[in-house]
Structure 1
Amino acid sequence: MTENQLIVVTGASTGLGAATARELSRQGFHVLAGVRRERDADAIRAAGVEPIILDITVPEQIEALAARVAADPRPLRAVVNNAGIQVNAPVETLPMGEWRRVFEVNLFGHIAVTQALLPALLRSRGRVINISSIGGRIAMPTYGAYAGAKFALEAVSDSLRREVAPLGVDVVVIEPGGVRTEIAGRGIATATDLATRMTPDQKQRYGSLVRAINTLMDTGTASGLTADAAARAVARAVTVRRPRARYPIGRDAAVLLRLARFLPDRMLDRISAANLRRHRPAPAAV
């Protein structure tokens, strides 16, 4: 009976995390939904959705989550590691503090939550669901930090899967393409802000590239899946009897990942460059 099982969803304030929490509660699970602010807790609180204040970079809040799970008699069915940020800038221009922040949220925070909840998952023979991205398999220009953390999350997921599968715990990676959520808009705003801090020489080198990536991100998100549709795919990964190791979500993810599997790197470089040329701003008239 699903109502007798817990699920933890991190990053549940908005977007895919919030939609996943609601979809799993609709299916009868009791969802502990990690949010960072009280106002987000008020927005998501509902029957079957219990908000938990959780910043996955704060050890004390992770410890409190683990204590909440340990005190509950219901088994922990799954942990959905969804929290994340998107920061886009050329490798040369992104400050080291931003590199560390991206990895702290998009990689180390997930590892910390997983470590804290693995004892409960081992007892219940539960499941770890790591929300990656097509950026965890293909790194576009300006996606160095974001894709680097997602590539690392995929590697950690492979290692963990092989460690805990003999113990009865499944580890599943979700690889969404474009999803219509707030993260892309926030990413564009962050990329635009970071671009203003580039030196004049860096703006000459990368200014049009950043604008092209922002346009591509905006159009890709607008044509992507709804958060509710993506959440249903995540819920299937949680509930299916024999999950696959990876689930691409969306037609764009399926196509790009298939291309990456069969095409040489230089061919992918040319395809990426041609795609970006369509989005670069026209040269200013002389």
Structure 2
Amino acid sequence: MTASPEIQEIAIVTGASTGIGAATARELARQGFHVLAGVRRDVDAEAIRATGIEPLILDITNPEHIQALATRVQGDSQGRAVRALVNNAAIQANVPIEAFALDQWRAMFEVNLFGQVAVTQTLLPALIASRGRIINISSVGGKVAMAAYGPYAATKFAFEAVSDSLRRELSPHGVHVIVIEPGAVRTAMLGRAIATAGELVSAMTPEQRQRYGALVHAVNEQAISSTKSGVPAQAAATVIAKAIAARKPRTRYTVGREAALLTMVRFLPDRVLDRVLAAALRPHYPKLPSVYDA
């Protein structure tokens, strides 16, 4: 299904400043949708603005921003239906559970789960009226919780559960809820996650740095290595557009070879999976004393 220029429909993409969100906004506009692209800053709005893309300042943890989005949708001058909501906004930090303060846990859940739920709740009447689609961007971290991915994986596991329940609730009303599970995708999100990890390591106690410094180093090096060989953001955008267009979409789509493999290995016994993940991480540990151990 491609939106007709004569009967243009609205697609909403949160977290559209960079990466998967920006690529998705451009792909959907190319296919004829009028895209409301949620961004955090004016400079991002100007960067994404284009034919078919209308940027909106949208912090999904801000109720006023969400209400402004709903008002924009309800007051659309052309009376266009909402075909799709792409819940993409997210933050990430690769850090051991002991070293991640509770207020940081809460902040991550506010963005990665509660904000997504708030946007979805607000737009559900319009999506039900149009029998539209909800596309929730999860992660392989929503299936496998690797070392130092605990907080991020916790939000994504929860987002997967919400998606399953929502799909079953909305199916009788003609609304498809679809989960996208990307693996390694070349985006700016990794750089931000590594920078955040560095800040958190510097705030650790000496004992925590001794326990986890080398682990954080290895996790970040592994992430950098896998991302270099990962797929471009456009690959994820293509899958998302396919999920919106499919007459009978699947409940889940993976993006990239790594995602497909990890969603399969999760069926291994726990101890076996522990050994597999540890072996994959081992080559990335520092060969010499790490700055993380200082």
The normalised TM-score by structure 2 is: 0.95
Q: CA offset at residue 258 of structure 1? A: 1.1
Residue 19 of structure 1, aligned match among 23, 35, 53: 23
Q: Is the aligned partner of 1:115 residue 2:125?
A: no
Distance 2:272 2:190 in 1: 27
| 1:20-39 equivalent positions in 2, closer than 5 A | 20-39=24-43
Question: Which whole-Å CA distance do the structure 2 matches of 1:148 and 1:182 have between them?
Answer: 21
- Give the Cα–Cα distance (whole angstroms) in 1 for the partners of residues 38 and 244 of structure 2: 17
Amino acid at match of 1:188: I
Question: Counterpart of 1:216 in structure 2: which amino acid?
Answer: Q
Length-normalised TM-score, structure 1: 0.98
**SS at 1:92's partner residue?**
helix
Q: State the match for 1:137 in structure 2.
A: 143
The Cα shift of 1:112 comes to: 0.3
| Structure 1 match to 2:10 | 6
Equivalent residue for 2:208, pick from 192, 197, 202? 202
Gap runs ≥5 in structure 2: none
Of 148, 156, 164, 2:154 maps to: 148
SS at match of 2:181: strand
SS, match of residue 31 in structure 1: strand
Deviations 1:106-152 (CA, angstroms, capped at 9, x unpaired): 00000000000000000000000000000000001111110000000
Q: State the match for 1:165 in structure 2.
A: 171
1-side partners of 2:189 and 2:288: how far apart? 30
Corresponding residue for 1:98? 104
Aligned-residue sequence identity (percent) comes to: 61
Distance 1:265 1:284 in 2: 31
1-structure distance, mates of 2:201, 2:226: 21
Q: SS state of the match for residue 147, structure 2?
A: coil
For 1:51, the equivalent position in structure 2 comes to 55
Which ranges of structure 1 fall in alignment gaps of 5 or more residues? none
Where 2:60 maps in the other structure, the secondary structure is coil
Alignment partner for residue 274 of structure 1, among 276, 279, 282? Answer: 279
The alignment partner of 2:179 has SS state of: strand
Greater CA drift, 156-165 or 234-243 = 234-243
Contact 2:94–2:220 (CA<8 Å) still a contact in 1?
no
The 3-state SS of whatever aligns with 1:248 is strand
For the 8 Å contact 2:92–2:189, the answer to whether it is kept is: yes
Tell me the SS of whatever aligns to 2:106: helix
The alignment partner of 1:165 has SS state of: helix
Paired residues, number: 284
Q: Distance in 2 between matches of 1:220 and 1:163?
A: 37
Q: Distance in 1 between matches of 2:70 and 2:93?
A: 29
Q: Is the aligned partner of 1:181 residue 2:187? A: yes
- CA distance, structure 1, for counterparts of residue 285 and residue 180 of structure 2: 30
Q: How many Å separate the matches in 2 of 1:87 and 1:116? A: 28
Distance in 2, Cα, partners of 1:105 & 1:123: 27
* Residues 72-91 of structure 1 aligned to structure 2 (within 5 Å): 72=76, 73-91=79-97
Distance 2:126 2:163 in 1: 18
State the SS of the aligned residue for 1:74: coil
Please state how far the C-alpha of 1:2 moved relative to its aligned partner. Answer: 3.6
SS of the aligned residue for 1:129 comes to: strand
Report the aligned-residue RMSD.
Answer: 1.1
- Of 211, 214, 218 in structure 2, the residue corresponding to residue 212 of structure 1 is 218
Structure 2: distance between partners of 1:83 and 1:96 = 21
CA distance in 2, matches of 1:36, 1:2: 29
2:252 is aligned, of 216, 227, 246, to: 246
The one-letter amino acid paired with 1:87 is A
User: Residue 265 of structure 1: CA displacement?
Assistant: 1.0
**CA deviation profile, 1:125-181 (whole Å, cap 9, x unmatched):** 000000000000000111111000000000000000000000110000000000000
Write the distance in 2 (CA, Å) between the matches of 1:2 and 1:22: 16
SS at match of 2:116: helix
- Counterpart in 2 of 1:264? 269
Q: CA deviation at 1:283?
A: 4.2
Match among 221, 224, 237 for residue 230 of structure 2: 224
- With 155-164 and 226-235 compared, the bigger mean Cα shift is at 226-235
